């Protein structure tokens, strides 16, 4: 997995509440058993005025300069709610998004981000609104190790992140590999667990 | 201090404390479907990793399979066949059981897993699908994950999980006539917002929950995720145990006796403390219908579309305006009387036998209004067979409903079948998001009885006032 350490880039404002994973990647855009090429379908219903012909909607923020290919999105509360489809995160990743800033996230989406090298960054809603209003375009520098978001005028906003998520992102860890190191612990748990709950085993 | 059921289940599955409120949890069951499970299996294979306990993993073909009679691997969804075949191949290779097209046990994963006795009280169960919380209705700790996490669960039989906060939602009193579990959960989400359960595992409890059938409890838990909860559950009781007994993958003989003894202990202690408690007086709940594009945009069927001008939060007000625009509605519009183009009964929320019975009772001797396309998709082939054995299919068909093979069908739009742009549909499903049921389709979530009553009336209707204008 690609590591996330520091990132400086344009932050595109997409400040709507409850942006769900169906909106991030509509079902019909998940065409193959593959992660590749999903970026084209990202936000398809908002991004294209004619989805089938891929005619761009000029009003959509990511179709305007300098927001095209913005590596940072600034969203509203409950970002990534809805379906568990990891394709939403793969689509963002394929498009080039590395960080989503929002007041809160859908739980499954948040976990999927961390497992794919995208930083789900929580800031209070007023801070995000201020960032959006302060500059157009807003350019942000995100330092994961220091847990700060910096604006060009030097203002620093601290953020919190669960330590395990931070480590996974900073190190670009393979979660299965990390857990398999604990296989002996899992096996000894399993033995005792099976003795207590034999009906759960076939 | 007493412990809640959620804490008890958590502790019995804890393999290791990883610090910072995160644990490694043991996973009893992994379920997959062709849409997202294919990616999990493919990921594992690419990494050269094996499935640790294939006997405790199961695949359902449900999301993109056609629901027309005589269906095969070909789908109306472009490219769907590849998902089906690749999933079948990968699962077969990994030694995982498949409830495939043509199998009389096929159906929507969250309907099949309890029905087959795969989901059990007290068990942990995951699936790369957000409505996995449905199985909480049996007292399982069940939650939706992503495909990468599903690969983790398959390879290690564990998951790294952050401890959720606990919430109890206490449904007090008794439900009025014509009101069911779907109305309870829509009412809750409308009252506390679609983000109201964020970060919580929820125990649904109280006299009204105890009075619900096991299937209705699944409806209740199904939409915990629309409340942004990590999951929801109901403590198992005698009804649950009765319901599970004799199911194909449920324990039998001595193991059954041992299991029952354990399940009877699965309750929250009387002095358990929850991080948050919500009380709902069931006397206040009416048949509830959504008007907008979030499940929180719900009002009693007798109500009106609210005015965003009255909302202080600018983000919520903007969301409401967008929703009004999408739904083609204006503030103050009455829900009753809104003409509909479609009626859909199906999905993991409301497609079990009890749902079909309730809808059929309304349809009996009546006809779907002209111009309304009405479809019923049983949640599983077992549900379909049971319904047909009682003759319910005849009631649906005589009323003018299409009667389909089981699957997710038009609960979501995968590029195949849909209701059409601007069409207004009353639906027993769980998501009314923009374009969820098709590009531009306007979805109104409601209970199966409200859907049936509306199909007859040709407009959104109150199931308590059948036959009135
Ligand atoms: S019926 Fe609908 S909500 Fe349920 S699993 Fe299928 S697509 Fe998802």
Q: Check: CB of residue A61 under 8 Å from CB of residue A72.
A: no
Which residue in A has a C-alpha nearest to residue B28's C-alpha? A200
A181 belongs to a structural domain: no
Nearest residue to B28 (alpha-carbon basis) of B157, B164, B144, B127: B157
Q: A with B: how many residue pairs have Cβ under 8 Å apart?
A: 181
A199 belongs to a structural domain: no
Nearest to A17 among B15, B316, B436 (CB): B316
Q: Around Cβ B276, how many Cβ atoms within 10 Å?
A: 14
Instruction: Write down the residue that tokens 């209740």 correspond to.
Output: B220
Q: Around Cβ B295, how many Cβ atoms within 10 Å?
A: 28
A185 belongs to a structural domain: no
Pick the residue whose CA is nearest to atom 7 on ligand 1: B408
Given the CA of residue B110, which atom of ligand 1 is nearest to it?
5
The CATH number for A33's domain is 3.20.19.10
Given the CA of residue B130, which atom of ligand 1 is nearest to it?
8
From the CA of B426, how many Å to the nearest CA of chain A? 20
Using the beta-carbon criterion (under 8 Å), do B130 and A83 form an inter-chain contact? Answer: yes
Q: Around Cβ B365, how many Cβ atoms within 10 Å?
A: 8
Show which of residues 248-307 on chain B sit within 8 Å of chain A, judged by CB atoms. Answer: 249, 251, 255-256, 258-259, 262, 294
A81 belongs to a structural domain: yes
Which residue in A has a C-alpha nearest to residue B230's C-alpha? A107
pLDDT tens-place values along chain B, 469 residues long: 899 999 999 999 999 999 889 999 999 999 999 998 888 998 898 889 999 999 999 999 999 999 999 999 999 988 899 999 999 999 999 999 999 999 999 999 999 999 999 999 999 999 999 999 999 999 999 999 999 999 999 999 999 999 999 999 999 999 999 999 999 999 999 999 999 999 999 999 999 999 999 999 999 999 999 999 999 999 999 999 999 999 999 999 999 999 999 999 999 999 999 999 999 999 999 999 999 999 999 999 999 999 999 888 888 888 899 999 999 999 999 999 999 999 999 999 999 999 999 999 999 999 999 999 999 999 999 999 999 999 999 999 999 999 999 999 999 998 889 999 999 999 999 999 999 999 999 999 999 999 999 999 999 999 999 866 4
A146 belongs to a structural domain: yes
Q: Can you tell me the distance from the alpha carbon of B324 to that of B321, in angstroms, rounded to the nearest whole number? A: 5
Cα distance from N-terminal residue to C-terminal residue, chain A: 35
pLDDT of residue A84: 86
- Residues A25-72 pLDDT 10s: 998 898 877 888 899 999 999 999 999 999 999 999 999 999 999 999
Nearest to B144 among A51, A78, A84 (CB): A84
Question: Of the given ranges (A26-40, A98-112, A143-157, B38-52), which has the lowest mean pLDDT?
Answer: A26-40
A187 belongs to a structural domain: no
Instruction: For residue B389, give the H/E element and its range.
Output: helix B381-389
A27 belongs to a structural domain: yes
Instruction: For residue B281, give the H/E element and its range.
Output: strand B276-281
pLDDT of residue A28: 86
Using the beta-carbon criterion (under 8 Å), do A197 and B262 form an inter-chain contact? Answer: yes
A198 belongs to a structural domain: no
- DSSP state letters, B187-252: HHHHHH-TTTTTTEEEEEESHHHHHS-HHHHHHHHHGGGGGT-SEEE----HHHHHHHTT-TTS--
Which residue in B has a C-alpha nearest to residue A107's C-alpha? B230
pLDDT of residue B468: 62
Q: Can you tell me the distance from the alpha carbon of B142 to that of B24, in angstroms, rounded to the nearest whole number? A: 15
Q: Can you tell me the distance from the alpha carbon of B194 to that of B171, in angstroms, rounded to the nearest whole number? A: 18
Q: Of B59, B63, B142, B222, which is best to mutate to test ligand 1, by the most ligand atoms within 8 angstroms of its C-beta?
A: B63
Say whether pLDDT at A174 is over 90: no
Q: Can you tell me the distance from the alpha carbon of B58 to that of B150, in angstroms, rounded to the nearest whole number? A: 12
Instruction: Give this prediction's pTM.
Output: 0.93
Using the beta-carbon criterion (under 8 Å), do B251 and A199 form an inter-chain contact? Answer: yes
Q: Say whether the ipTM exceeds 0.90.
A: yes
Q: Check: CB of residue B104 under 8 Å from CB of residue B388.
A: no
Cβ–ligand 1 distance for B23 under 6 Å, the answer no
Helix axes A87-95, A107-114, angle to 10 degrees: 50
Nearest residue to B155 (alpha-carbon basis) of A121, A27, A175: A175
What is the CA(A4)–ligand 1 centre distance, in A? 34
B247 touches chain A (CB under 8 A): no
Which residues constitute the domain of residue A162? Answer: 6-171
Structural domain count, chain A = 1
Q: Which two tokens stand for residue B246?
A: 């004799």
Cβ neighbours of A51 in B, within 8 Å: 439
**Which residues have a Cβ under 8 Å from the Cβ of A97 and sit 6 or more positions away?**
A70, A71, A72, A73, A118
């Amino acid at each position: 997995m690609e590591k996330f350490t520091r990132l400086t880039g344009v932050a595109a404002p997409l400040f709507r509440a409850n942006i769900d994973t169906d909106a991030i990647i509509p079902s019909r855009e998940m065409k193959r058993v593959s992660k590749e090429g999903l970026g084209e379908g990202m936000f398809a219903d908002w991004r294209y005025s004619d989805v089938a012909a891929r005619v761009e909607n000029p009003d959509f923020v990511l179709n305007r300069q300098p927001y095209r290919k913005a590596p940072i999105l600034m969203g509203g509360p409950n970002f990534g709610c809805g379906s568990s489809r990891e394709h939403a995160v793969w689509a963002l990743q394929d498009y080039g998004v590395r960080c989503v800033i929002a007041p809160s996230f859908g739980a499954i989406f948040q976990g999927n981000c961390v497992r794919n090298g995208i930083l789900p960054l929580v800031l209070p809603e007023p801070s995000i609104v201020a960032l959006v209003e302060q500059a157009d375009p807003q350019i942000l520098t995100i330092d994961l190790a220091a847990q700060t978001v910096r604006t060009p005028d030097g203002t620093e906003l601290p953020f919190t992140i669960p330590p395990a998520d931070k480590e996974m992102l900073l190190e670009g860890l393979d979660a299965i590999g990390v857990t398999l190191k604990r296989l002996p612990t899992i096996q000894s748990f399993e033995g005792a667990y099976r003795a207590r709950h034999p009906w759960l085993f076939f | 201090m007493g412990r809640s059921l959620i804490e008890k289940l958590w502790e019995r599955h804890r393999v290791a404390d990883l610090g910072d409120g995160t644990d490694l949890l043991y996973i009893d069951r992994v379920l997959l479907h062709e849409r997202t499970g294919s990616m999990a299996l493919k990921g594992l294979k690419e990494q050269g990793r094996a499935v640790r306990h294939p006997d405790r993993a199961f695949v359902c073909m449900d999301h993109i399979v056609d629901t027309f009679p005589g269906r095969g691997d070909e789908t109306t969804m472009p490219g769907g066949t590849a998902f089906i075949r690749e999933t079948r191949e990968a699962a077969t290779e990994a030694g995982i059981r498949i409830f495939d097209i043509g199998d009389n046990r096929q159906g929507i994963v969250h309907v099949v897993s309890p029905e087959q006795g795969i989901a059990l009280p007290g068990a942990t169960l995951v699936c790369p699908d957000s409505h996995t919380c449905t199985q909480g209705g049996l007292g399982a700790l069940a939650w939706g994950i992503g495909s990468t996490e599903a690969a983790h669960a398959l390879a290690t039989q564990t998951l790294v999980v952050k401890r959720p906060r606990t919430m109890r939602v206490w449904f007090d009193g008794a439900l009025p006539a014509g009101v069911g579990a779907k109305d309870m959960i829509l009412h809750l989400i409308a009252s506390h917002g679609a983000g109201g359960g964020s970060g919580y595992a929820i125990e649904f409890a109280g006299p009204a929950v105890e009075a619900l059938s096991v299937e209705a409890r699944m409806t209740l838990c199904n939409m915990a995720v629309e409340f942004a909860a990590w999951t929801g559950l109901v403590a198992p009781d005698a009804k649950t145990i009765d319901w599970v007994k004799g199911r194909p993958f449920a324990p039998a003989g001595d193991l059954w006796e041992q299991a029952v003894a354990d399940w009877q202990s699965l309750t929250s202690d009387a002095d358990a403390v929850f991080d948050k408690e919500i009380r709902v007086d069931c006397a206040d709940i009416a048949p509830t219908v959504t008007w907008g594009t979030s499940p929180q945009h719900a009002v009693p069927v007798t109500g009106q579309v609210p005015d965003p001008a009255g909302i202080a939060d600018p983000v919520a007000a903007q969301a409401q305006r967008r929703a009004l625009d999408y739904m083609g509605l204006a503030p103050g519009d009455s829900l009753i009387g809104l003409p509909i183009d479609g009626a859909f009964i199906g999905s993991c929320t409301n497609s079990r036998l009890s749902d079909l019975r309730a809808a059929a009772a309304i349809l009996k001797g009546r006809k779907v209004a002209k111009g309304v396309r009405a479809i019923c998709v049983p949640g599983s082939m077992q549900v379909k067979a049971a319904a047909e054995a009682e003759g319910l299919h005849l009631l649906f068909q005589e009323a003018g409903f299409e009667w389909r093979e089981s699957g997710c069908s038009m609960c979501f739009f995968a590029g195949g079948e849909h209701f059409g742009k601007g069409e207004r549909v009353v639906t027993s499903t769980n998501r009314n998001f923009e374009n969820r049921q098709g590009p531009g389709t306007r979805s109104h979530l409601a209970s199966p009885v409200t859907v049936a009553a509306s199909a007859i009336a040709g407009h959104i209707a109150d199931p308590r006032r059948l036959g009135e204008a």
